[in-house]
Amino acid sequence: MGTRSNRNPRRKFLKYIGAAGTVGLAGCIGADPGEDDDVDSDTVVIGSNHPLSGNLGGTGTRMDNAVQLAAMLKNEAGGIESLDGAELEVISGDNEGAQELGGEISDELIDDGADVLTGCFSSPVTNAATRAAERAGVPFVISVSVADAILQGAEMEYIYRPQPPATQMAVDHAELMPQAIRDAGQDIDTAGIYYIDIDFGQSVRDGLEEELPKHDIEVVETVGIGFGETADTQVTQLQAADPDAVIAISYEGETVELVRAMDDQDYQPPFLTGCANEALNDRRALEQMGDTTEGALATNFALDPTNDRAGEVRERFEDEFDQSFDANVAMTYAATEVIIAAIEEAGSSEPDAINDALAEIEVTDHIAAMPPITFDENGENENALAPLFQVQDLQDRVVAPAEFAESEIDL
């Protein structure tokens, strides 16, 4: 359009659109993991590899704070007893939720003195981060990441996952959710799946599509949503398919959009459920979504409501950071408890000693609603569990299995 110099504006514009696509405009500035170079020899260093910025930065920051809080409480209690009260130090790296940064941040944390690592929330990032830790021979306890492929078939020796993986999440949901509904005398024959269209959502969706028919539930619709989208079209699709249950596999933002679109289109399925859905056990999000979520059933790893200490941790977290304590925070805290228990058990800050301890450990005193944590030869928790909870008075209440239930199911 202009005449400045010899240019073809359209071609230049197109060239830079290509550049925009390449960089994904995901640029974010995070904490420099290299800041913490001076590590005291009387400390054991935990490297926290989470998204502190980017689309997942909100939850990632809370997860990082959970690691910080677990270390802080241990230090307040006198530090690592088997190391004469050695203190825990947490160094944090921002992976921005970007797969290409997962391994890089792990390497940087190890270079900066991390004796053991945890992370990363997004499964592709965790995949990359754990490979880097495995190569370096530094143990890595996954805080939250659901994809089966991170561990299964990978023959890793330094990687452990306390939470249930995607398949287990789907198995628990496909079993517990319809059973609870049928036990209450109601029918459920069909389901529609609403999932975040990334590795996490796809993994759990695939698991549900396999598991639900085993419990006589036909999947009649499957709709995906991307980051930053509204859920209008997806809700129209779900409404047209008219399933008995809409199962949401999504982060907070996408779940809020689902509920908003349901309200806008005056659509309320007989059952709203969630599988590995963080919003349905985040009380701040529940308050925001309001009555549409009342009675919703969901399976996810959760805080153990029968454990007094879990309640205290939740309160301390909310006081300390003024942030909500959702399932991801609870699971990250529990993963850090596993790390701390392994350091105690090892009586050493050496990565190999910590790894040996992790391979044999049984952690009974943790805040997650699941039996003692102990790992199989793949590094998966043999007792991993995603309990069923229900939204009652806009609060997440565990209703099954019985040993963790704090409330009766109310349909």
- 74-113 binders of other proteins (CB under 8 A): none
Q: Is 13 in the site for other proteins (CB under 8 A)?
A: yes
The residue among 176, 212, 165 whose CA lies nearest residue 402 is 176
Choosing from 42, 58, 149, 394, the residue that interacts with other proteins (CB under 8 A) is: 58
Looking at the Cβ atoms of 10 and 37, the one nearer to other proteins is 10
The residue among 297, 250, 243 whose CA lies nearest residue 267 is 243
- 320-349 binders of other proteins (CB under 8 A): 323
Q: Is 234 in the site for other proteins (CB under 8 A)?
A: yes
Q: Is 237 in the site for other proteins (CB under 8 A)?
A: yes
Tokens in use for 60?
A: 């990632």
Q: Is 288 in the site for other proteins (CB under 8 A)?
A: yes
- 193-232 binders of other proteins (CB under 8 A): 193, 197, 202, 205-206, 209, 219-222, 224, 226-230, 232
Tell me how far, at minimum, the Cβ of 45 lies from other proteins, in Å.
25
Looking at the Cβ atoms of 21 and 153, the one nearer to other proteins is 21
Residues in contact with other proteins, shown as a per-residue x/- string from 242 to 271 under the rule CB under 8 A: ----------xx--xx--xx-xxxx-----
Instruction: State the number of binding residues for other proteins (CB under 8 A).
Output: 66
The residues that touch other proteins, with contacts defined as CB under 8 A, are: 1-4, 7-10, 12-14, 16-17, 19-21, 23-29, 52-58, 60-61, 193, 197, 202, 205-206, 209, 219-222, 224, 226-230, 232-234, 236-237, 240, 252-253, 256-257, 260-261, 263-266, 288, 323
